[in-house]
């Protein structure tokens, strides 16, 4: 059979089973193995198992359950409540201050947890009712939490970055370093948007009345809330970028810091540790299936010749390398509306990364653009995960339509950040070069 017909048959089978409701990971792995058998015979099984064995011996893989365990502990530690109280006292007197403070907490939480849902659920539970009670515009508050929560996969340590590194054999440490600049850039852009919006429309983010504002002694006492989070962030990232530890060893340091935080806040319980361990086990087991599906899929891609075909077709996209980049980012944006980030990585990375390298794009820089588009996918309707996390914890008077509408300006601000990173690659590449040469 021709490679064109095999490609259509392959992707047609994938689409059929996805539409039937089969989990994407199992569709990719199962269909890929079947096609491998008919294309290569039993040697196809050997190729997949051999690649899986190599991956399982990669020490970076251990970082995933450790970062998941750390995030789960921090979610239950009470750290977020203390951070919000501090932010309320410092920023409540400014127009839009509670929203700016909320996204600042999202930055801190992102640097501690490495996942998206933790900050969305926590801030949706703690910050959203307070902002609505203070008269904040519903959509401004919802959008701020939705956007800030997505930074958990961009600002290191990021579990999605570790998975990206495993699938592409790119340095996880370099990806971590590259995520800091873009993460801070997005925080600044979102904060500027909130400030300008509240200056133009003061009723959207009213300042606290003077009699409700904290005095300076209260503000300085509240700063104690950031001591533990900053120590955890510095211990994890400082160990990696200082060359004292690998990402895996730094993850173990982060788990120790999270345990200390739960102990200091008197939340350390045997039942809590058991729940955190079970949650970690479930997610880690699912990641093993993801890796199997990824290796089966990439092997099938190569065996069928689909990768070469699609790379060839990409050369017909107008605009040269920038046209190809715009096309790839557009595909990621559309996929983000209907697929989960891991599924998008499995489908697109075997094709997009070789294309990016062929056009001379830095793979670390392209990886950051890819991760940001996954972040956009978390917040775009109809199936963005953060939308449903937020709906699950929002007050009853917040409708799904409110949440959908709230993300529009924040998506545009994030895409502006993507454009700035494309125009000024050093935003992403300066720190990797500084730390790793």
Whether the CA torsion 17, 20, 22, 25 is positive or negative: it is positive
Confidence (pLDDT) at 429: 96
Residues 289 and 356 in one domain: no
Beta-carbon contacts of 323 under 8 Å, excluding residues fewer than 6 positions away, are 317
Residue 287 contacts residue 20 (beta carbons within 8 Å):
no
The DSSP secondary structure of 60-105, one letter per residue, reads: GGGHHHHHHHHHHHHHTTTHHHHHHHHHHHHHTTSTTHHHHHHHHH
Q: Is residue 276 part of a domain?
A: no
pLDDT confidence of residue 190 = 96
Token code pair at residue 110: 């992102």
Q: Decide if 221 is inside a domain.
A: yes
What pLDDT shows up at residue 1? 64
pLDDT at 307: 66
* DSSP, res 50: H
Residues 257 and 361 in one domain: yes
Q: Are residues 310 and 300 in the same domain?
A: no
In a domain, 275, yes or no: no
- 114: exposed, middle or buried (C-beta count within 10 Å: 0-12, 13-18, 19+)? buried
Length in residues, the chain? 437
The burial class, CB within 10 Å (0-12 / 13-18 / 19+), for 188 is exposed
Residue 350 within any structural domain of the chain? yes
pLDDT digits (tens, 9 = 90+) for 366-398: 999 999 999 998 888 877 878 888 888 888 888
Say what the pLDDT of residue 366 is.
Answer: 97
In a domain, 406, yes or no: yes
Say how far residue 383 (Cα) sits from the centre of its chain: 15
Task: Please list, residue by residue across 55-71, b when 16 or more beta carbons sit within 10 angstroms of its beta carbon and e when fewer do.
Answer: beeeebbbbbbbbbbbb
Please indicate, yes or no, whether residues 78 and 32 belong to a single structural domain of this protein.
no
Same-domain pairing of 103 and 175? yes
> How far is residue 369's CA from residue 182's CA, in Å, rounded to a whole number?
9
> Do 38 and 98 belong to one domain?
no
Same domain, 166 and 252: yes
Which single residue is written with the structure tokens 């199962």? 30
Same domain, yes or no, for 124 and 220?
A: yes
The whole domain housing 14 covers 1-57+285-304
Cα–Cα distance for residue pair 83/92, rounded to 1 Å? 13
Say if residue 62 is in the same domain as residue 177: yes
Mark the ranges of the chain whose per-residue pLDDT is less than 70: 1, 306-307
Q: Evaluate whether residue 273 is within a structural domain.
A: no
Please spell the DSSP secondary structure of 129-158, one letter per residue: HHHHHTT--HHHHHHHHHHHHGGGGTSSS-
In whole angstroms, what is the distance from residue 263 CA to residue 336 CA?
Answer: 38
Radius of gyration of the chain (CA): 22
Structure tokens at 269: 């319980």
How many independent structural domains does the chain possess? Answer: 2
Asked if the structure places residue 405 within a domain, the reply is yes
Assess whether 143 and 212 both reside in one domain.
yes
Residue 226 CB neighbour total at 10 angstroms: 17
Phi-psi region of 72 (alpha: psi -120 to 50; beta: other; left: phi over 0): alpha
Paired tokens of 126: 């703690």
* CA proximity to 387, closest of 368, 405, 413: 405
Same domain, 12 and 113: no
User: CB 168: neighbour CB atoms within 10 A?
Assistant: 17
The rounded distance, in Å, linking the Cα atoms of 326 and 100 is 31
Q: Produce one character per residue of 301-326: b if its CB has 16 or more CB atoms within 10 Å, e if not.
A: bebbbbbebbeeebeebeeeeeebbe
Structure tokens of 31?
């269909």
Say if residue 79 is in the same domain as residue 212.
yes
**Cα–Cα distance for residue pair 7/39, rounded to 1 Å:** 12
Beta carbons within 8 Å of 187's beta carbon, 6+ residues apart? 103, 104, 107, 148, 151
Distance of CA 143 to the CA centre of its chain: 16
pLDDT at residue 229, rounded to an integer: 84
* Token pair for 304: 């069928």
Q: What is the pLDDT of residue 185?
A: 96
């Amino acid at each position: 059979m021709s490679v064109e017909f095999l490609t259509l048959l392959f992707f047609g089978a994938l689409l059929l089973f996805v539409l039937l409701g089969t989990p994407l990971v199992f569709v990719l792995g199962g269909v890929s193995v079947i096609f491998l058998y008919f294309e290569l015979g039993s040697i196809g099984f050997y190729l997949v198992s051999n690649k899986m064995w190599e991956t399982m011996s990669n020490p970076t893989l251990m970082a995933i359950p450790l970062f998941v365990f750390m995030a789960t502990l921090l979610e239950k530690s009470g750290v977020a409540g203390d951070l919000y109280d501090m932010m309320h006292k410092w920023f409540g007197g400014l127009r839009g201050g509670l929203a700016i403070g909320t996204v600042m907490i999202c930055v801190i939480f992102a640097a501690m947890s490495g996942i998206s849902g933790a900050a969305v659920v926590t801030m949706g539970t703690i910050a959203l009712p307070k902002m609505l009670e203070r008269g904040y515009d519903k959509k401004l508050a919802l959008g701020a939490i939705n956007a800030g929560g997505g930074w958990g996969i961009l600002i290191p340590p990021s579990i999605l970055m570790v998975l990206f590194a495993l699938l592409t054999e790119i340095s996880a440490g370099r990806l971590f370093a590259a995520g800091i600049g873009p993460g801070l850039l997005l925080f600044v852009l979102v904060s500027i948007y909130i400030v300008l919006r509240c200056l133009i429309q003061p009723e959207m983010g009213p300042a606290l009345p003077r009699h409700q504002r904290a005095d300076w002694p209260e503000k300085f006492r509240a700063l104690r809330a950031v001591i533990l989070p900053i120590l955890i962030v510095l211990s994890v990232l400082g160990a990696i970028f200082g060359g004292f530890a690998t990402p895996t060893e730094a993850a173990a340091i982060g788990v120790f810091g999270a345990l200390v935080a739960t102990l200091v806040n008197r939340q350390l319980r045997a039942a809590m540790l058991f729940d955190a361990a079970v949650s970690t086990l479930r997610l880690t087991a699912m990641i093993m299936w993801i890796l199997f599906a990824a290796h089966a899929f990439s092997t099938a891609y190569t065996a069928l010749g689909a990768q070469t075909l699609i790379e060839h077709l990409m050369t017909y996209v107008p605009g040269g390398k920038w046209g190809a980049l715009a096309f790839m980012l557009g595909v990621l944006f559309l996929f983000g509306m209907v697929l989960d980030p891991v599924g998008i990585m499995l489908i697109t990375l075997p094709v997009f990364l070789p294309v990016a390298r062929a056009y001379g794009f830095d793979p670390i820089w392209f990886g950051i653009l890819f991760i940001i588009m996954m972040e956009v996918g978390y917040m775009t309707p109809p199936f963005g995960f953060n939308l449903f996390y937020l709906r699950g914890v929002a007050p009853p008077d917040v409708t799904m339509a409110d949440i959908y509408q709230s993300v529009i300006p924040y998506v545009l601000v994030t895409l502006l950040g993507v454009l700035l990173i494309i125009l000024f690659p050093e935003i992403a590449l300066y720190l990797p070069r500084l730390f790793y040469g």
